[in-house]
């Protein structure tokens, strides 16, 4: 299974040659502020991941000591989260080309969720 994705303007494109487990919705305050709402992520092994274009264009924002977030400076799409463990890269599911073949896996940081929505489910 190979999936491809990229930012809104198309400058940054990538491919993953391997399995993605499913969609994780993160309700932490960092994600909600960064994405404008809770985030939808799928985790890829770094070994399965490759840039097709735009690796030099991509910018990283250090959102905490443990995580950085990758975005396109031309169109503003926030497309990656990197937990700096050197093994995985976290993909924003909305930037993956359809059909993703993915389905809901779980919610995380539910205690930090906004008061303006119900938790998403399967």
Could you list the residues that contact Zn ion (CB under 5 A)? 7, 9, 11, 26, 28, 31, 72, 74-75
Q: In this complex, which beta carbon is closest to Zn ion, that of residue 10 or of residue 18?
A: 10
- Asked whether 49 and 14 are in contact (CB, 8 A), the reply is yes
Phi, psi (rounded to 5 degrees) for 83: -85, 10
Q: In this complex, which beta carbon is closest to Zn ion, that of residue 9 or of residue 47?
A: 9
**Taken in order 98, 48, 11, 84, is the CA torsion positive or negative?**
positive
Q: In this complex, which beta carbon is closest to Zn ion, that of residue 49 or of residue 109?
A: 109
Neighbours of 52 (CB within 10 A): 12
Q: In this complex, which beta carbon is closest to Zn ion, that of residue 20 or of residue 25?
A: 25
- Asked whether 42 and 24 are in contact (CB, 8 A), the reply is yes
User: Smallest distance, Å, CB 18 to Zn ion?
Assistant: 23
User: Smallest distance, Å, CB 66 to Zn ion?
Assistant: 11
> Residue 95, class by beta-carbon neighbours within 10 Å (0-12 exposed, 13-18 middle, 19+ buried)?
buried
User: Smallest distance, Å, CB 88 to Zn ion?
Assistant: 15
User: Smallest distance, Å, CB 113 to Zn ion?
Assistant: 10
């Amino acid at each position: 299974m190979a999936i491809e994705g990229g930012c809104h303007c198309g400058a940054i494109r990538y491919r993953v040659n391997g399995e993605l487990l499913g969609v994780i919705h993160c309700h932490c305050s960092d994600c909600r502020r960064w994405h404008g709402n809770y985030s939808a992520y799928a985790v890829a092994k770094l070994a399965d991941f490759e840039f097709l274009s735009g690796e030099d264009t991509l910018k990283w924002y250090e959102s905490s000591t443990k995580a950085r977030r990758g975005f396109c400076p031309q169109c503003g799409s926030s497309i990656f989260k990197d937990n700096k463990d050197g093994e995985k890269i976290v993909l924003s599911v909305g930037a993956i080309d359809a059909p993703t073949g993915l389905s809901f896996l779980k919610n995380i940081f539910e205690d930090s969720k906004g008061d303006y929505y119900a938790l998403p489910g399967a």
